[in-house]
């Protein structure tokens, strides 16, 4: 029953943040009667909320509990002052991400005023091979995670997306030796991101920070020291 309740929670997505009972039941692959009973329990606790329109949404109490996730809100809270400094000084997009298995989860995104549009969303996932933060996190991931990411069909977003495993392997080695990653128009045609690793007190890479700017507006080599400095400051704040 717990697993089924979690399936109901997992049926929510950025595309479907509000759902009727029958939509929920279908997406969670549960009989409507079961979904009805479990959704009722989730509403009672506050994990879901039901609106005037009869649709279910993720509830505030779940959000409150989730605010205690060390790799989500807690990391974000510690990092936010530094991300804001970076945002105010550059007026560009600033992003913070962590790795979950073979994927990248965006924990924070501050959109610069007039900055280039980006595809990311807080709480959203992305394949690791195309973004700057993804390349950083993958470069410091265990070998089996790297191999799996390079073996799979690598998603292509633009003509510039690097999908060749050999080329990607070289990029990851460069990230480790240089201390930063560059994704040049690999996600959208007009954006360039420069990312750097955040190390925790034990030297583990626990997150990555990036600046995303319009392609051609700044050189990656000029941005890298900024991003690396900010990433180190965040690591220091994590202690």
Q: Contact positions toward a second copy, by CB under 8 A?
A: 1-6, 9-10, 12-14, 17-18, 38, 41-42, 44-47, 49, 57-74, 77, 80-81, 84, 87-88, 98, 100, 105, 110-111, 113, 122-125
Query: Shortest Cβ distance from residue 193 to a second copy (Å)?
Result: 20
| C-beta of residue 141 within 8 angstroms of C-beta of residue 166 | no
- Backbone angles phi and psi of 229, in degrees to 5: -65, -45
CA–CA dist 31, 237 (Å, integer): 48
Q: Which is nearer to a second copy, 110 or 145 (CB)?
A: 110
Q: Which is nearer to a second copy, 71 or 215 (CB)?
A: 71
CA–CA dist 141, 194 (Å, integer): 18
Query: Shortest Cβ distance from residue 49 to a second copy (Å)?
Result: 8
What contacts 16, CB < 8 A, 6 or more positions away? Answer: 23, 27
Q: Which is nearer to a second copy, 59 or 132 (CB)?
A: 59
Q: Which is nearer to a second copy, 9 or 119 (CB)?
A: 9
Query: Shortest Cβ distance from residue 228 to a second copy (Å)?
Result: 22
Query: Shortest Cβ distance from residue 230 to a second copy (Å)?
Result: 15
Query: Shortest Cβ distance from residue 60 to a second copy (Å)?
Result: 5
Q: Which is nearer to a second copy, 23 or 174 (CB)?
A: 23
Interhelix angle 75-90/220-238, rounded to 10 degrees, is 150
Q: Which is nearer to a second copy, 20 or 45 (CB)?
A: 45
Query: Shortest Cβ distance from residue 175 to a second copy (Å)?
Result: 22
């Amino acid at each position: 029953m717990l697993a089924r309740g979690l399936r109901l929670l997992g049926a929510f997505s950025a595309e479907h943040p509000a759902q009727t009972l029958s939509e929920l039941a279908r997406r969670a692959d549960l009989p409507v009667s079961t979904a009805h009973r479990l959704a009722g329990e989730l509403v009672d606790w506050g994990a879901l909320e039901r609106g005037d329109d009869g649709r279910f949404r993720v509830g505030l109490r779940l959000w409150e509990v989730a605010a205690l996730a060390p790799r989500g809100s807690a990391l974000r809270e510690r990092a936010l002052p530094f991300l804001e400094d970076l945002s105010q000084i550059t007026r560009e997009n600033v992003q913070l991400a962590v790795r979950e298995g073979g994927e990248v989860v965006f924990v924070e995104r501050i959109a610069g005023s007039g900055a280039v549009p980006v595809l990311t969303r807080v709480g959203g996932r992305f394949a690791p091979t195309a973004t700057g933060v993804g390349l950083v996190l993958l470069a410091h991931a265990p070998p089996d995670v790297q191999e799996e990411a390079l073996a799979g069909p690598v998603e292509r977003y633009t003509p510039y997306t690097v999908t060749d495993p050999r080329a990607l392997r070289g990029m990851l080695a460069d990230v480790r030796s240089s201390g930063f990653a560059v994704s040049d128009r690999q996600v959208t045609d007009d954006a360039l991101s420069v990312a750097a690793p955040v190390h925790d007190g034990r030297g583990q890479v626990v997150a990555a920070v990036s600046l995303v700017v319009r392609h051609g507006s700044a050189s990656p080599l000029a941005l890298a020291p900024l991003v690396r400095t900010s990433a180190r400051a965040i690591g220091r704040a994590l202690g």
